[in-house]
Amino acid sequence: MKAIIIDDEILARGIVKEYLQHYPDIEVVQECGDGFEGIKAIQQHGPDLIFLDIQMPKITGFEMLELVEQPPAVIFTTAFEEYAIKAFEAHAIDYLLKPFSRDRFDKAIKKWQQQNPQERQAETAKLVSVPDISPNRQNRIVLKDNGKIKIIPTANVQYLEAADDYVKIHTAEGVFLKNKTMAFFEQTLDPQNFIRIHRSFLVNAHLISRIEPYEKENHLAVLSIGVKLPVSKSGYSKLKGVLGI
Amino acid sequence: MTNSIVTGNRFRISFFSWWLIWSMVHALVINSYGAGLLQSLADSLLCNLLLAACCLLITNNMKYYLPQKERYWYILIMSLVLSGLWLLSAKMLLKLVFRSDENYLQLLTNSTAIRYVIGFLMTGCMAMMSLLWYTLQEQQEANRRKEEAEQMTKDAELLKLRQQLQPHFLFNSLNSISALAGTQPEKARHMVQQLSDFLRGTLKRDEQQWVTLEEELRHLQLYLDIEKVRFGQRLQTDIEVMEAAGNMHIPSLLLQPVVENAIKFGLYDTTGEVMISISANAENNQLHIRITNPFDEETAVSTQGTGFGLASIQRRLFLLFARHDLLHTSRTGNLFTTRLIIPQYNHESNHH
């Protein structure tokens, strides 16, 4: 069994390694100090288990997980992450609150050993799809663009467009893709800033310059960047609520 | 809801005994003016029962309606009217009962003025007493609310203080100690010592207190040493203090949160080594402190709004100096700079 430890504090990685010495069948193949290294290491080694801290340089543990295709089983190690804990508790994946004892660590390993691989994968996938786990998510979107990790402040996002299994993120820099649902973004982004005006469109409210009637009962939202987007009936009432018209 | 004046046992006893004594005096006086014993007793009983009822009416009325403006006019008019009504009905009843007793009827007519004055005084006194009682009650209630509000403010401030202790920092430090305990027990013990010293220093200090910059930096150093154990080589610090600045004063525990913010910002916004530099100098009898940390221009916007945890520092500076221009932040290249200005006036009076 291969394991990777991802934590920005060397001593914190050390204690996981020390506790793991009692499990000769689990081998620590790599230690990583941040999420970037973590992604590379996971792709390179395909570990069976990762120990993951949440608050780390640049991207959080959650954001890192989102960028890994088929993430492995995860045991979170964190000091105090009030937002995260809610998400953990809903799923079978275990979390260790720092500082943790060996007994507690052994319990987490046992829980992991008792799951079969399908279960593990399903739980990790579910965890990643839970919206609004940390306040950082309201302010930025982390995605992979041509193999490079990109952090987009939500203020730079013009609008989001549904595209099959993906969501197209339109920015001044260009269009980016993220493997998520519209519902996920609708729940994550601040509803005062982003309005779901249509089944397929979530728009940055600050860019709307006017609303035009369109055909019988529909409307068009005209953005200051020159784009026109369709507004559905329920989208129109949401717009009225947020913009106060 | 205010308590009613009439619910207290003490009130009931004194009210009852007052009317008993007064009725006896009343009967004696009437008797001494030549009325018969029966007439005197009946007169006294009837008049005073009615008057006591009027008094209860007044105080009950005031329980539900306490005049705010013109309250003394209100009392005056109420007493005048009520005692008039009282006298009228008492006289009518007495005349009816003793309609054949000429002597008594004459006495009754002669005493109208004095009866009215007495009735007015009694109801007036009762009204004044009730007014004072209910006003006092209102004031006590208002005071209680004020005290409660003050307590809440204090609690909120205490909570803020506790939050300054940063549970994140504490738990992560404990985790480091736990890690060291297995492999390097001596270092673990040393870190326990550092952490204790730091916590003791934080708890001991009072937010109102002023300390010299040197003292504040000694406290800060404890914090930095602990963070360096946690982050190892990644965290570098450089502290430069001009001689004149070291003896200048600063509100205690002001610098540490600013540095903590810089460290957090630097460590979580970049990968690789992070240099935090702190420099202090004296300018125009003001203490200038400059703290820089590296950041990434591309992602910084996305890190927790724009305040970077400096809002509470800004607020504290405003509470202390009533000025908004003492905290500045700027970005140049990959460096984020926080500038603090601490005016030096007026601190002697706050010292201790």
User: Cβ of A80 and B167 within 8 Å?
Assistant: yes
Nearest CB neighbour to B175, from listed A58, A99, A151:
A99
> Residue B301 carries which DSSP code?
T
Contact A51, A5 (CB under 8 A): yes
pLDDT in tens, B271-323: 888 999 999 999 988 999 999 999 887 666 544 444 556 777 787 777 777 78
- From chain B, the residues in CB contact with A12 under 8 A are 172, 175-176, 179
CB burial of residue A130 (10 Å; 0-12, 13-18, 19+): middle
What values do phi and psi take at B231, rounded to 5?
-100, -5
Identity of the residue numbered A156: N
Chain B interface disruption, residue of A6, A11, A63, most B CBs within 10 A:
A11
Searching chain A, which residue's CA lies closest to the CA of residue B269?
A58
pLDDT in tens, A143-158: 988 888 888 888 899 9
State the Cα angle at B132 between B131 and B138, rounded to 5°: 90
Q: What is the mean pLDDT of chain A?
A: 87
Give residue B147's pLDDT. Answer: 82
User: Cβ of B230 and A11 within 8 Å?
Assistant: yes
pLDDT band for B251, please (50, 70, 90 cuts).
confident
The alpha carbon of residue A141 is apart from the nearest alpha carbon of chain B, in Å, by: 9
List of residues 6+ apart from A189 with CB closer than 8 A: A138, A154, A202
Give residue B177's pLDDT. Answer: 95
Q: What is the mean pLDDT of chain B?
A: 84
Kindly provide the residue ranges of all beta strands, DSSP E only, lying in chain B, ordered along the sequence.
Answer: 210-212, 235-241, 249-251, 274-283, 286-294, 327-332, 335-343
pLDDT in tens, B98-111: 888 888 888 888 88
Give residue B34's pLDDT. Answer: 82
Nearest CB neighbour to A57, from listed B175, B230, B268:
B268
- From chain B, the residues in CB contact with A140 under 8 A are 299, 302
pLDDT in tens, B179-226: 999 889 999 999 999 999 998 888 777 666 788 999 999 999 999 999
- From chain B, the residues in CB contact with A63 under 8 A are none
The alpha carbon of residue B343 is apart from the nearest alpha carbon of chain A, in Å, by: 36
pLDDT band for B67, please (50, 70, 90 cuts).
confident
* Chain A residues with at least one Cβ partner in B under 8 Å: 8-12, 14-15, 18, 33-34, 36, 55-58, 79-80, 97-100, 135-136, 139-140, 151-156
Give residue B305's pLDDT. Answer: 40
Nearest CB neighbour to A10, from listed B168, B232, B270:
B232
In this predicted model, which residue has the larger pLDDT, B140 or A117? B140
Q: Does the structure show a pLDDT above 50 at A5?
A: yes
User: Cβ of B270 and A15 within 8 Å?
Assistant: no
d(CA A231, CA A237) in angstroms, rounded, equals: 10
Distance of CA A142 to the CA centre of its chain: 8
Q: Does the structure show a pLDDT above 70 at A136?
A: no
- From chain A, the residues in CB contact with B175 under 8 A are 9, 11-12, 15, 79, 98-100
Q: Does the structure show a pLDDT above 70 at A134?
A: no
Question: What is the crossing angle of helices B185-204 and B167-183, to 10°?
Answer: 160
- Whether this model's pTM surpasses 0.80: no
Give residue B241's pLDDT. Answer: 94
Query: What is the rounded average pLDDT of the residues A186-192?
Result: 85
Q: What is the ipTM of this complex?
A: 0.80
Identity of the residue numbered A43: Q
Give residue B64's pLDDT. Answer: 79
Contact A52, A76 (CB under 8 A): yes
Give residue A37's pLDDT. Answer: 94
Could you tell me if residue B5 is left (phi over 0), alpha (psi between -120 and 50 degrees) or otherwise beta? alpha
Give residue A192's pLDDT. Answer: 85
User: Cβ of A11 and B175 within 8 Å?
Assistant: yes
User: Cβ of A79 and B179 within 8 Å?
Assistant: no
Contact B341, B286 (CB under 8 A): yes
pLDDT in tens, A61-85: 888 988 888 888 889 898 866 656 6
